[in-house]
Structure 1
Amino acid sequence: MVLVTGASGQVGKHLLQVLSARGISARAWIHSKRNEEAVLAAGAKEVYIGDLNAREAAVKAMEGSDTVYFICNTANPREDEIGAQLIETAKEIGGITFIYHSVLHFLLSDMPHHKRKQGVEKTLADSGIPYVIIQPTVFMQMLTPAIQSVKHGGPFVQKFYTSDQTKMTYVDMADYAEAAAEIIASGAYLYGTYEFCSEGAYSLTDMEAIFSELAGRKVTSAFISDADFLANAHKAPDSYEGQTLLTMFRHYNANSFCGNAFTLTQILGRKPVTIREYLKNALQG
């Protein structure tokens, strides 16, 4: 049994779908009963409802599990503490492989959520229990607002690029889930750290060209202001989550965020979906 935390989020539901398709039983750990129907529909065999922050909840949730797949909600200010507690609980129970959903280039500690993930990775590597660390780049699904804008005749609305010097590497969440399920099923990846990226590093000009080609018209970009981004994300301007996300985008704008597709290609046994392929399917859908 695979225990999946954060199971009601996009990543969690993608993973549940693939695990179910492969005949791997998964228990979804969710915070609220209102998400129960959604995770069952995604493929969860069992559902545990409880507070991710509570140690007693972790003990109950892990009962009968041989794998814990730890996904924390984005920009959680306690991710390092929660991770440490879950790792310690898994170690005490014994016989559990711990898989951690981290982030590409976790060492970039100027981004607060990277620093917290760095802490979880260290705790896990020092724990002595079997583990796997998965480090995805930016998900292509984060481009959904841009895709909807272009589909309706608008610009490429985005917050990744302030100049053409910035380059970004993306990955499809479906490829992420397929590779993660392969790691779980095979058992051949223990004690490894794996970057999940698709091919290429794309500039603003590259993205505008791809959107223009697929839309059959000239598509230019429109940068989303901080205020509009926070409003659309339902984050208070002074919140930890909101400021962490803004810091992340500022880092992307100033430094780029690029990775390599070799590892994901090897795990999938094929090339990952490219950004052009993803955008084509999304715009036609």
Structure 2
Amino acid sequence: MTDFLDISPYDDRLEKIEIECLLEAVFKRYGYDFRNYAYPSLRRRIWHRASTEQLETISLLQNLVLHDRDAFERLLSDLVIPVTEMFRDPGMFKLIRERVMPILNQSTFVRVWHAGCATGEEAYSMAIMLEESRMLSKSRIYATDISEASLQRARQGMISQDRLSLYAHNYLQGGGEQDFASYYESNHGLATLHPRILERIVFAEHNLVTDRSFNEFQIIFCRNVMIYFDTALRERVHGLLYDSLSPGGFLVLGNKESVAFTSFAGRYETWNDEYRIYRKLR
């Protein structure tokens, strides 16, 4: 079997046409729009899926995903690869705990949006911080993602036992005030978060590329999502995030992302450049 990841003999122009046709077909058939994602990464992932399915051309992959929903889900899992953990980048969570939470607490009700939440670990972390700040009862966390499979996992609130020590370490480094074990129960090799943490989180499917704003939020996390987008798509998503923030609201991006070089740069105060925390100007 040919190694399809080594595609140098493949006609570059034909390859690009096939990729464009595949992405257009996926958009029209399933409503997922990857047409403006960064091309090199997209190309690698599409060929990986073709290779795994033992298909010699992208056109054959297109035919398969159009007629087989399960095949499309497998392709989607390659195009949207979540990298997440609880209290990832503990310094960022510590800064939010110490400097942002007191400001959020001035609101009568706090709405949080985790855009591109993957399997929910970041939303779980925020719920724990809100509880320790005595704000969870007046908060609602909206955690959205393009992948229904990831959302189904997130709703279960389950954590693999082999990740607990890492998460406990992150939690303490992020300024955690309790015993991390008090937030979950262990059973048959899995840890399940307590219902009091999960009940304030709404997990829902939302596509940043095609869907609109659905509420106004005091803080939005959209970390390491736009690194896969081209310039035009990043601009569109920044518009969506800006329109979704309340005046004085906070936007938290990934460490390789920024509002700089977008048309929204002048509409934010840089709250912390290291952790890419911005505050919408009133």
TM-score w.r.t. structure 1 length? Answer: 0.34
Larger radius of gyration: 2
TM-score, normalising length: structure 2: 0.34
